Amino acid sequence: MQKYYQPEIECAPREVIKKLQSERLAAQIRRVYDNVPYYRKKMEEKGVTPDDIKGIDDLYKLPFLSKYDLRDAYPYGLLGAPLKDCVRIHSTSGTTGKRVIAFYTQHDIDLWDDCCARAIVAAGGSKDDVCQVAYGYGLFTGGFGLNGGSQKVGCLTVPISSGNTERQIMFLQDLNATILCCTPSYAAYLGEHMKEMGLGPDDIPLKAGIFGAEAWSEEMRQSIQETLGIKAYDIYGLTELSGPGVAFECSDQHGMHINEDHFIAEIIDPDTGEVLPEGATGELVITAVDKEAFPMIRYRTRDICSLTREKCPCGRTHVRMSKPKGRSDDMLIIRGVNVFPSQIETVLLNNGYAANYLIVVDRVNNTDTLEVQVEMTPDMFTDDIGAIQSRQNALVAGLQSMLGIRAKVTLLAPKSITRSEGKAVRVIDKRKI
Amino acid sequence: MSTKQISAFLENKPGKLSELTSLLAANGIDLRALSLAETNDFGIARMIVDDVEKASAVLANESFIASVTEVLVFAVPNEPGGLNRLLTEFNKANVNIIYMYAFIGRDTSRAYMIFRVSDTASAERALSLAGLHPLTQSEMDAI
């Protein structure tokens, strides 16, 4: 079976990758300096010219780009290619601020499709597979990205998009889909729905899932793997950087390989901007070295993770990023403590609860309150109120030891938390500051 | 002989109990006895019904979480000291009560006490030595 989609680049020696990155970076910087006034101005403010950037060792000299730049330059200010050469746009949902519109030339679409194709092959995909793409199609990058990758690999591609869960299950069965692509929360919901229909993992031929577009915990992976009877692979990306496929998991599943021929990764201290050494945890910064329409130089992803260049048993040589704990935007500061929703998810799943939960933060008498609402499950129910309360107390203690602060746990009736077909809404912050 | 009781999880919010009772009503299920246990955010409705299998199926179908547990039902004379005599025997037999509730049937000379105990089988054995026998399911149905 094919192990890599583009072995010559995915398994290239480190020196080759570094040389390629350096050449592409120098050319990219010259291009944006010459063609994008916004970048030229930022570089001038920092006193950097394209002559200063000879290779990746000079990367640190360049200014960062943040979501504020994207907001200021909306919609065309960061366009790196003439609009007539662009063939498509995608856009973020705009829930956490101003919508981002990303532009693509045909070259950009091709490299993005390649990145997704690498992810599908790494998850065991080949021409023989049927790939059901249950990410949303449209402005969201998930559907089109995996669709493009799946066609490149030669899978029979089922562009079912998100929603209509019964139809999803029917297609999984009738077309013998072997690979499922969607958000992890939707995969969990599909599993739950199958259970209700009396279907188990053996009733569908799925073997792998490629799940991304939201932060999810290792425990959630285990639970999806069990209910769907598959191996679940993580995929990482941002609309700003093309979409899913910036990084993907191989069968070894110790971090996601960043496609380094297209993206240079750095980890910085989010407060000072200082570049941190390999292995340190900080904010991921990505430079897209050969994207034409929407170049992105030192883009601050707000995702908190670490990098390792240690040799991966899978044979790929590209750097691996750890599963992000969540976007720094998702991080809640509660009573001065940093809390990621994914930490709460870990504790819930470890205590036998389902991954359907809602985090409610409020401020009462000038003190932050944290409430975790979770659904009661048939397995946990007993008519002995004391037994339920001791489970509730165990959860409170688990959250306390994970987060360092006390949370209130509220048990809800089944199905009272709305299921998501795309990115799940996990947090309600009622604080008015 | 133990009796089957059905318990359902309810959020402690207005309207939740009536969702349960309207579902039972719509399916023609008769409540023989009912007790509510509550905490700040949730409660448990414990019920003796005329058709426990049907009630189970109806609740599961509407996404209620419910479970069936074995309880012991004893008849006591409806007079001062009636319950006390029974509990004295429980005490002698060292039976631990988790919770209990009571109801009265058509014949008001007797009251019925429903007990959930730590260990139903050994409680039944110990109490039968004292000549105390819980109601059978058919005796229950006849009340």
Quote ipTM for the complex: 0.83
- Class (C level, CATH) for B3-69: alpha beta
Residue A115, both tokens: 């990145």
Nearest Cα neighbor of A24 from A225, A337, A345, A263 is A263
Q: What is the mean pLDDT of chain A?
A: 92
Cα–Cα distance between A134 and A169 in angstroms, integer? 11
Are the C-beta atoms of residues A99 and A82 closer than 8 Å to each other? Answer: no
Cα–Cα distance between A113 and A154 in angstroms, integer? 12
**What integer pLDDT is reported at residue A332 of this predicted model?**
84
Q: Which of A376, A384, A385 lies at the smallest CB-CB distance from B65?
A: A376
Residue spans in chain B of domains classed CATH 3.30.70.260? 71-137
pLDDT surpassing 60 at residue B45: yes
Residue A181, both tokens: 């692509």
pLDDT in tens, A159-212: 999 888 899 999 999 999 999 999 998 898 899 889 989 999 999 999 999 999
The fourth-level CATH superfamily of domain B71-137 is: ACT domain (3.30.70.260)
Chain B residues within an 8 Å CB radius of A388:
42, 44
Per the DSSP assignment, residues forming a β-bridge with A102 are A90
Averaged pLDDT for residues A69-79: 93
Nearest Cα neighbor of A232 from A186, A278, A286 is A186
Confidence of residue A67 (pLDDT cuts 50, 70, 90): confident
- The pairing of beta strand A156-158 with beta strand A130-133: parallel
In angstroms, what CA-CA distances link B141 with A54, B48, B135? 90, 10, 10
Averaged pLDDT for residues A378-401: 90
> In chain B, which ranges are continuous DSSP H helix?
16-26, 52-61, 82-92, 120-129, 137-142
Residue A308, both tokens: 């390792």
pLDDT surpassing 80 at residue A96: no
User: Is cis: bond before A50, omega within 30 of 0?
Assistant: no
- Terminal Cα distance for chain A, rounded: 56
**What integer pLDDT is reported at residue A79 of this predicted model?**
97
Helix/strand/coil for B127: helix
Confidence of residue A97 (pLDDT cuts 50, 70, 90): low
**What integer pLDDT is reported at residue A402 of this predicted model?**
87
**Element (H or E) spanning A113, and its range?**
helix A106-122
**What integer pLDDT is reported at residue A87 of this predicted model?**
98
Averaged pLDDT for residues A336-350: 86
In angstroms, what CA-CA distances link A349 with A332, A342, A354, A375, A414? 20, 11, 6, 12, 16
B42: nearest CA partner in chain A: A411
Of the listed ranges A32-46, A335-349, B19-33, B62-76, the least confidently predicted one is A335-349
**What integer pLDDT is reported at residue A189 of this predicted model?**
87
Nearest Cα neighbor of A433 from A370, A371, A363 is A363
**What integer pLDDT is reported at residue A418 of this predicted model?**
83
pLDDT in tens, A304-324: 999 999 999 999 999 999 998
Are the C-beta atoms of residues A165 and A189 closer than 8 Å to each other? Answer: yes
pLDDT surpassing 60 at residue A95: no
Averaged pLDDT for residues A246-252: 97
pLDDT surpassing 80 at residue A1: no
Based on the number of CB atoms within 10 Å of its own CB, is A384 exposed (0-12), middle (13-18) or buried (19 or more)?
A: middle
Q: SS3 breakdown of chain B: % helix, strand, coil, rounded to 5?
A: 35, 35, 30
pLDDT surpassing 90 at residue B31: yes
> Residue B42 and residue A388: Cβ atoms within 8 Å?
yes
> Residue A412 and residue B11: Cβ atoms within 8 Å?
yes
Based on the number of CB atoms within 10 Å of its own CB, is B61 exposed (0-12), middle (13-18) or buried (19 or more)?
A: exposed
Averaged pLDDT for residues A392-411: 91
B13: nearest CA partner in chain A: A412
- Class (C level, CATH) for A1-328: alpha beta
Are the C-beta atoms of residues A408 and A369 closer than 8 Å to each other? Answer: yes
Residues near A242 by Cβ (< 8 Å), separated by ≥ 6? Answer: A102, A104, A108, A111, A112, A115, A141, A145, A288, A291, A294
pLDDT in tens, A11-28: 999 999 999 999 999 999
Mark out chain A residues that contact chain B at CB-CB < 8 A.
376-378, 381-386, 388-389, 410-416
- Class (C level, CATH) for A332-429: alpha beta
Nearest Cα neighbor of A402 from A342, A335, A326 is A342
Return the top range by mean pLDDT from A204-213, A337-346, A377-386: A204-213
Domain positions in chain A are 1-328, 332-429
Helix/strand/coil for B71: strand
* Site from B13, B42, B56, B118 to mutate, A interface, most A CB atoms within 10 angstroms: B42
Residue B36 contacts A, CB cutoff 8 Å: no
Which percentage of chain A shows pLDDT scores above 70? 98
Amino acid at A417: I
Cα–Cα distance between A350 and A233 in angstroms, integer? 20
Residue A112, both tokens: 């993005």
A90 or A425: which leads in pLDDT: A90
Return the top range by mean pLDDT from A56-65, A157-166, A388-397: A56-65
Are the C-beta atoms of residues A283 and A304 closer than 8 Å to each other? Answer: yes
pLDDT surpassing 60 at residue A433: no
